[in-house]
Amino acid sequence: MHPLPKLSSLKLPGIQCKMASGIFPPNRRIANTSLMKNASGREALLWRATFFMLGVTTLMSVCVLRLAQLQLVEGQYNQNLAEQNRVRPIPVPAERGNIVDRNGKLLASNRLSRAVYLWPRQQSRNEWRETATRLGAILNIPSQEILDKLEQAGYNSPLPVRVSQQLSQTAFVAMAEQATQLPGVEIIAGSSRHYPYNQLASHVMGYIGEASEEDMQANPSYPSGMIVGQMGVERMANDRLEGAWGSRLVEVNAGGQEIRLLGSKEAVAGSQVRLTLDVDLQQAAERALNGRRGAAVALNVNTGEVLALASNPAFDPNIFTRRVSQTEWQALQEGDQPFLNRALQGYPPGSTFKIVTATAGMQSGKFSPSSRIGTSAYLSMGGIQFWEHSKHGYGVIGFKEALAVSSNTFFFRVGLTVGAEQVAKWGKILGIGTTKLGLEGESLGLIPTPDEKEELYDEPWYAGDTVSMSIGQGLVQVSPLELAVMSAAIANGGWRVKPHLLADQTNTPATERVATGIDPGTIETIQAGMVAVVQQGTGKRLNDGSIPLTAGKTGTSEVVGRKSHALFVGYGPAADPQIAIAVIVENGGYGGVAALPVAHEIYKVYFGRSAQPAKQD
């Protein structure tokens, strides 16, 4: 048996091992290095796995916490939001009541239209900015105006916001083509106001528009986009005309399309309002003004019903059924001021005021119906000469003749004798400074006394003020409506009527006429004088046989630096007064030339047909 060789003496091909030296064999060294590398890789993988698991765990925790918040903490709130996005309350505008004249002719009605509404919750604030730009280009509305309405309503409002009242066919087609790019935009059918006579009686009719912030605060029940009267009868009778809006509760899909109706509340249309106006007389008055600045008023002498109330220039209220541009609005405020109701503005009344001075003279007791006063070419007062129409005066005449020839010096002396206070007193009794119709922009007349002048203007009263007052100049201001009331009081025997536009107010306590206390002798004398004006004086153009005999008084009021205003007041027929008229033509010159023909046209229409009683509702 051979002994084993020593390990150290073993010699293997290509391998040298020196145990003593501590050097491992080459293969062992390679394996050891691989193990180290594998360990580092496993450690890196472990860390990656750990971070991944932490990330997933964190993400899941956030989702779970958010889900818990949405479901448990805010569950009811979110359910309500989802329900509100699924269920829409759609407003149903009520039709405004019609407005008709005394004979039932339509002055304001409604016609089919389309309105554009926005649902604020359908888009974010930033998204609405982009939509407003696109929508504004289609509707020709500034995008900021659309955004302002959304801001006012609030982007979380569940109710729609109207941004356009009347959608044109072109805009309708454009919106249909871009429907997918306009989420939250809806077209809802409704009705818009229509004035078939356009500008006719526009100052009486007024116009409509969206309720202002003040209107909304005063009427919390008003829905967004509520239409209310802004002027004239539309505003005066708004509570009757507006009706009550209804609503439809509908379920919609994600695209905003209606799926089914969940409930509805019917809209209640407004009530019809009948006016005292007579369309035929109104047309005659406006036609006779023929584009000139001025006004004409016609009243029933016994009831105070306003048969015509014309003011020129006028405006077309139909423009307010759509968006009014800034340029259009500015034009209404400037130039000849179409918005100004001249029938309710104060003017120097000129010689038409001599009716008041005559009344004051006889009622003061200082003159009687039979009194006669000397006239002259002029009256000198404080170094100033106040002239008569005639170079030599008219001699000694009475009230009837003085009215017929419109003598200045006659009424100068009457005014100076009775005093300014008496003239002012009887002017107010006849309706000057005390008459109101209830429309916007109305101004009361003014007949200042000496004390009032000092208070208003901080100036003393002079005798010349009394002279000017006695012929309707100086500080005296009277509206055409007040002149018509004055004329009616003389026509009906001394009763001051209360002018009104709503037919259901006629012959009610609210419009009951008031006794002036003017003596019958005074009334008869003034009536005779006004008839003489037509028969032989400055108003004889009315006595051409085309109408029954009427009574009247012309006037010319001076305007500094410009042509005089032309005025006329009157009533007819003289034997049985029914209608009283007052007319002013600004800078028209003589009353008998410019204003009287307007009254003549009204008379011809009134007397040219048998007077029909107003239809009853």
pLDDT attached to residue 49:
76
Catalytic annotation, pick one of 351, 376, 407, 487:
351
Helix, strand or coil for residue 363? helix
Report pLDDT digits (tens) over 567-595. 999 999 999 999 999 999 999 999 999 99
Q: What is the largest CA-CA distance in the chain?
A: 189
Whole-number Cα distances in Å, 284 to 23, 208, 487, 502: 132, 26, 20, 21
pLDDT attached to residue 173:
87
pLDDT of 277 over the 60 cut:
yes
Q: Give the residue-averaged pLDDT of 11-25.
A: 44
511 Cβ partners below 8 Å, 6+ apart? 303, 304, 497, 498, 500, 505
pLDDT attached to residue 20:
41
pLDDT attached to residue 15:
42
Q: Tell me which of 28 and 8 has the higher pLDDT.
A: 28
pLDDT of 197 over the 60 cut:
yes
User: Looking at this protein, which amino acid is placed at residue 213?
Assistant: E
pLDDT of 32 over the 60 cut:
no
Q: How many residues does the chain have?
A: 617
Determine whether 613 is exposed, middle or buried from the number of CB atoms within 10 Å of its CB (0-12, 13-18, 19+): exposed
Q: Give the residue-averaged pLDDT of 333-347.
A: 92
Q: Tell me which of 506 and 325 has the higher pLDDT.
A: 506
Decide if 202 is catalytic.
no
Q: Give the residue-averaged pLDDT of 608-615.
A: 54
Helix, strand or coil for residue 202? helix
pLDDT of 479 over the 70 cut:
yes
Instruction: For the chain, list the domains and their CATH numbers.
Output: 86-274 (3.90.1310.10), 279-315+330-607 (3.40.710.10)
Query: How many Cβ atoms are within 10 Å of 610's Cβ, its own excluded?
Result: 5
C-alpha span between 71 and 285 (Å, rounded): 73
Average pLDDT, the chain: 87
The pTM (predicted TM-score) of the whole model is 0.80
Is residue 40 within 8 Å of residue 28, measured between CB atoms? no
